[in-house]
Structure 1
Amino acid sequence: MKKYILVTINLIIITVWLVSCNSSNSTDKEVMSTEANANIVEVSTAQFINSKMELGTLSKQNFNQSIKTNGFIDVPPANKASVSAVMGGFIKKSNLLVGNNVKKGQLLVTIENPDFIEIQQQYLELFEQLNFLESEYNRQKTLFEEQISSKKNFLKATSDFKSAKAAYTGLEQKLLLMNIDPSNVKLGNISSVIPVFAPISGSITKVNTSVGKFMSASDVLLEIVDDEHKHLELVVFEKDVLNVKEGQVIYFQTPENSLKKYKAEVHLIGKSIDEQNRTVRVHGHLENEHEPFIVGMFVEAEIITNSIQKDALPLNAVLEEESNFYVLVLKDKNDDFYKFEKKAVSIGQKTEDWIEILDSENILSDNQILINGAFIPLE
């Protein structure tokens, strides 16, 4: 009896082992079958509709030939001002900060220097002497014409008068440059302080002063930029510059907002090459000057030099796997399912919406391709 039970158990174990082996072989066959059909994808009609899939074919799309370059946002030279004083001195008043807006003629800073007093004194003294010297000149002229006085006396009076007048005129112009009203000096109003006014309207971009600091005539006190007319200043290499023409479209972006592209147009092309780096400056007008760009902001740009039509598919129609690219080509369909074949393709240029398909052997020509909803994971 025990022997029978043992034999029975052994038979059961053997049977289970045989079934397990058969099952394993079956699985292997199924895996091999799946791998053999890995390029065939079936989608039910319900899945096709629910996933909003769409069929399409290769179409002709414009692809741009371009020159990639970089540069910065700038303004015309007339819209930038480096403010200096005519004469050096100590800063007495300076209330402006970077970012403050100023109007042309607005007071920026005041400068104090004892030398200003001396200039005004010299001007006032010459003003007082000029009346006497002019009278003496006229008197000697009359005496000389009547042959009463010698020519020597007349020439000396003439020289004294004209020299004093020249010095007087020069000091008067110097006072005007120092923003001192000569008429006030003639009234005896002498000041050791001179004002410095804004030469243009705009925003303060640099402040190099502080109260009590001595600034020489060559020092820049402040810098002002009027950004009402911003433009692009691009740098193009010598090898590319002959392909750049006025009127060509420029697309550019800033590192701060690399997802958004802005548009400009080539307006001027430099006529000389920078000998140091063999580049040429290209000036571009912005499509919208009121974008919130900051003068000096770095940009990456693309100058469109030509446009060619090529076979293309929407970006969503192409799948990238390990540096290879694939599309799903319709092989068969009926009321219940769509059958697609996964085909490898070669690609060319890309735009924001399209990708060039290099289909030299016309493998995809006239075939329907899944262009929307391709490669959506199906449960």
Structure 2
Amino acid sequence: MRTILYILPFLILFSCSHKASEEESTNNNLIEISKQQFEAEQMELGEIQLMTFPSKLYFTGYIKPNTNGWAKVGLPVEGIVQQIKANLGQAVQKNDPLFVIGGNQFIDLQQKYAESNARLSQLKADYNRVNLLYDENIGTEKEYITAKSKYESELAKNNALKMKLENIGLNVNRIAQASLYTSYTITSPIKGYITNMEATIGEYIDQQEEMASIVDTEKLRLQIIAFEKDIMSIKVGQQVEFHSSGKDEVALATISLVGRTVNSESKSIECYATIEPEYLDKFINNQFVEGEITLSSDTVAALPTDAIIQADDLSYALLLENETDSSYLFQKVNIQKGRSTKDFIEVKNKIRSGKIVTKGVYNIVVD
């Protein structure tokens, strides 16, 4: 009987020790924070929210004018630069003067037209006379065909010379009276800014040379360099956010054209986006930019970035378990992070509902 009484206290002690060990193990994920500390750290309680997260595609690209916003200036008739009336970087309107051109070729063209005009009058008179005789069966068919052929041939030549001179902006009636111009003026074909100037006074310019280029900044667009693997995700109408390299200010655009040809060297495809008008004056031609295309968006569970505690490669949040007069008891829960914005992080794993510390966890250390 005495032996049994000795053993019983040991059994009770062992049982209590085991129960305390289980309780300690159960509380391994619990963190106690006093209300005084909670207020001092400016902590806040909240809940998991439903947030819209976009799926985005990063890109690089350039600012380029559209097809009607860029012009190269050349000469309709080769000649010598006599005056330059605009400067590199200058804003010009359509039909503003750019260059004054002279030279023998220009004078020769006027001379040919004046001579052709005089010859055409003579050939027309001859043709009308022979045609009248032929209608009255006096002239021969051969004379009629010859006169008609000479007249129509000279008429075609005269019309071609006339069109060339009118394209330069000259009064052909004046030239027909042998009153020739000593020079002609090249004007801007569009409004915009002069982005290239290749002419100098006294220089001879032929018809193949580019004298200047003009870009209309109101018709700039975003050229996006996309890779072949991403092209099927890009659609007309998608929203684009972009900025120049090294700057944080974001501009907006909308996809307007998706390319269908792969560059054999870079394996990329060119796409274009229309820039919102209020951002056009913030960029210049050929400027390098980078940004993101919003491919799609969906609504998911999310927490503020300030609610996440980082410990090594893992992420945690604090879920409220109990509250006393003097403290809060939180459970440490693992967070599987997904997409992120500036202020929120997607929570990919399911977390039971409850209050979560959404702010002020930066000083909390978890094991």
> What is the TM-score normalised by the length of structure 2?
0.80
Once the two structures are superposed, what CA deviation does each residue of 1:178-210 show, in whole Å capped at 9, x if it has no partner?
332212212332123221111111221211222
Tell me the residue number matched to 1:74: 64
Once the two structures are superposed, what CA deviation does each residue of 1:131-174 show, in whole Å capped at 9, x if it has no partner?
22222222222233334444443333323322222221111111
Q: How big is the shift at 1:116?
A: 0.9
Once the two structures are superposed, what CA deviation does each residue of 1:296-333 show, in whole Å capped at 9, x if it has no partner?
22222322222233332111222446655444454654
Whichever residue aligns with residue 313 of structure 1, its letter is L
Tell me the residue number matched to 1:271: 260
Instruction: Please identify, of 337-346 and 248-257, the stretch whose mean Cα deviation from structure 2 is larger.
Output: 337-346
1:60 aligns with 2:50: yes
Tell me the residue number matched to 1:372: 359
Contact 1:41 1:342 in 2 (8 A): no
Pick aligned residue for 2:123 from 113, 126, 133 = 133
Whichever residue aligns with residue 368 of structure 1, its letter is K
Instruction: Please identify, of 166-175 and 148-157, the stretch whose mean Cα deviation from structure 2 is larger.
Output: 148-157
Tell me the residue number matched to 1:87: 77
Tell me the residue number matched to 1:210: 200
Structure 2 unaligned runs (5+)? Answer: 1-27
Whole-angstrom CA distance in 1 between matches of 2:82 and 2:126: 44
Describe the shift of the 1:214–1:339 C-alpha distance in structure 2 as closer, same or farther (beyond 3 A).
Answer: farther
RMSD after superposition: 2.9
Whole-angstrom CA distance in 2 between matches of 1:185 and 1:290: 49
Tell me the residue number matched to 2:187: 197
1:101 aligns with 2:91: yes
Contact 2:255 2:273 in 1 (8 A): yes
Pick aligned residue for 1:160 from 150, 156, 162 = 150
Pick aligned residue for 1:144 from 123, 127, 134 = 134
Once the two structures are superposed, what CA deviation does each residue of 1:219-241 show, in whole Å capped at 9, x if it has no partner?
11111112223332222222222
SS in 2 for 1:70: strand
Instruction: Please identify, of 285-294 and 117-126, the stretch whose mean Cα deviation from structure 2 is larger.
Output: 285-294
> What is the TM-score normalised by the length of structure 1?
0.78
Whole-angstrom CA distance in 2 between matches of 1:229 and 1:41: 62
1:282 aligns with 2:268: no
Describe the shift of the 1:43–1:264 C-alpha distance in structure 2 as closer, same or farther (beyond 3 A).
Answer: farther
Contact 1:228 1:289 in 2 (8 A): no
Describe the shift of the 1:288–1:339 C-alpha distance in structure 2 as closer, same or farther (beyond 3 A).
Answer: farther
Whole-angstrom CA distance in 2 between matches of 1:368 and 1:158: 101
Contact 2:221 2:275 in 1 (8 A): yes
Structure 1 unaligned runs (5+)? Answer: 1-36
Describe the shift of the 1:311–1:151 C-alpha distance in structure 2 as closer, same or farther (beyond 3 A).
Answer: closer
Q: Within 5 Å, give how 1:338-353 maps onto structure 2.
A: 338=328, 345-353=335-343
Whole-angstrom CA distance in 2 between matches of 1:306 and 1:147: 84
Pick aligned residue for 2:233 from 243, 259, 263 = 243
- State the percentage of identical aligned residues: 27
Describe the shift of the 1:215–1:319 C-alpha distance in structure 2 as closer, same or farther (beyond 3 A).
Answer: farther
Instruction: Please identify, of 233-242 and 168-177, the stretch whose mean Cα deviation from structure 2 is larger.
Output: 233-242
Contact 1:208 1:222 in 2 (8 A): yes
Q: Within 5 Å, give how 1:187-336 maps onto structure 2.
A: 187-257=177-247, 259-291=248-280, 292-320=282-310, 324-330=314-320, 333-336=323-326
Give the total of aligned pairs.
Answer: 336
Q: How big is the shift at 1:215?
A: 2.0
Instruction: Please identify, of 330-339 and 247-256, the stretch whose mean Cα deviation from structure 2 is larger.
Output: 330-339
